[in-house]
């Protein structure tokens, strides 16, 4: 079809030259105007079976935690088996053993992770159900009890924030004792050969199904001051934070990732 069109267009062009007339551009002589040429048939996308229930892992996900074991995780400080506590389908932070990280490295990904602040949470500000999810081991998406904006803290440190950078667009947090979900689409940063930044990391976050970060550029590695800088890196683990405050530890469940 396309070949014939090109031939006829070429023939028309020749006749136009021969008779010195101006051709009218139509779908018959310009392949770009033919709708058929706008239909692409390869490559065919892979079929993925969606989960029956929202939030459960689709068929091509790597399940990082489903309540059974911590086989995908190690302790960040010494790479020994992760020691956080599993009860039912939930994984609870053990503040005595520190952060945990995935055994695997990831570049860009889609991550689903659910978290719950205990109903009897105490403390205030950043000392009330604090944890976090570090993308590429460096860029923290904050976890904190900020339900109903009741717990006053800096807004770029609320749940759903890129910590100390980007304020969530809205606050759809559930109250302590209820499960929250983050669905995070993360594009890893790219670096030049000399280590300088080529393109910043970007992140989109749905918090309980509500967009709170929209393709937001990350400024650099999370730090307590305002100077967040990039240092060249490749694929890296995801880290879950064991925060040192005195409030009761939070829990995670249903963690899966699609590279």
- Give the nearer residue to Mg ion in terms of CB position, either 144 or 236: 144
Burial string for 114-153 (b: 16+ CB within 10 Å, else e) reads bbbbbeebeeeebbbbbbbbbbbbbbbbbbbbbbeeebeb
Least Cβ distance, residue 70 to Mg ion (angstroms): 20
Interacting residues with Mg ion (CB under 5 A)? 130, 132, 241
Which neighbouring-strand residues pair with 240? 100, 133
Does 43 sit behind a cis peptide bond, omega within 30 degrees of 0 on the bond before it? Answer: yes
Closest to Mg ion by CB, 29 vs 222, is: 222
At its nearest, how many Å lie between Mg ion and the CB of residue 190?
26
CB-based contact 151:128 (threshold 8 Å): yes
Question: Minimum CB separation from Mg ion for residue 163, in Å?
Answer: 6
Which is closer to Mg ion, CB of 45 or CB of 244?
244
Task: Report the distance separating Cα 142 and Cα 162, nearest Å.
Answer: 6
Distance CA 18, CA 108 (A): 56
Nearer to Mg ion, 243 or 253 (CB): 243
- Asked if residue 165 lies in contact with residue 155, where contact means CB atoms within 8 angstroms, the answer is no
Locate 16 and state its tokens.
């136009």
Closer CB to Mg ion, residue 102 or residue 130? 130
> What single DSSP character describes residue 82?
P
As measured in angstroms, the least distance from the Cβ of 132 to Mg ion is 3
| Shortest Å, Cβ 30 to Mg ion | 57
């Amino acid at each position: 079809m396309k070949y014939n069109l090109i031939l006829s267009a070429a023939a028309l062009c020749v006749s136009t030259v021969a008779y010195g007339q101006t051709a009218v551009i139509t779908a018959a002589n310009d392949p770009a105007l033919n709708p058929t040429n706008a239909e692409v048939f390869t490559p065919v996308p892979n079929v993925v079976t969606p989960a029956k229930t929202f939030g459960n892992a689709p068929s091509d996900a790597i399940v990082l935690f489903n309540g059974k074991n911590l086989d995908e995780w190690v302790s960040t400080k010494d790479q020994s088996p992760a020691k956080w506590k599993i009860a039912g389908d939930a994984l609870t932070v053990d503040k005595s053993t520190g952060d945990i990280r995935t055994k695997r490295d990831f570049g860009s990904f889609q991550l689903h992770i659910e978290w719950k602040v205990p109903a009897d949470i105490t403390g205030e500000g950043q000392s009330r159900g604090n944890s976090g999810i570090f993308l590429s081991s460096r860029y923290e998406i904050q976890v904190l009890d900020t339900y109903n904006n009741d717990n006053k803290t800096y807004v770029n440190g609320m749940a759903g924030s890129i910590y100390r950078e980007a304020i969530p667009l809205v606050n759809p947090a559930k109250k302590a004792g209820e499960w929250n979900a983050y669905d995070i689409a993360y594009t890893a940063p790219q670096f030049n050969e000399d280590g300088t930044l080529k393109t910043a990391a970007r992140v989109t976050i749905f918090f309980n199904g509500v967009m709170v970060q929209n393709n937001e550029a990350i400024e650099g590695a999370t730090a307590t001051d305002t100077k967040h800088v990039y240092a060249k890196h490749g694929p890296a683990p995801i880290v879950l934070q064991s925060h040192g405050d005195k409030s009761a530890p939070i829990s995670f469940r249903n963690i899966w990732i699609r590279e």
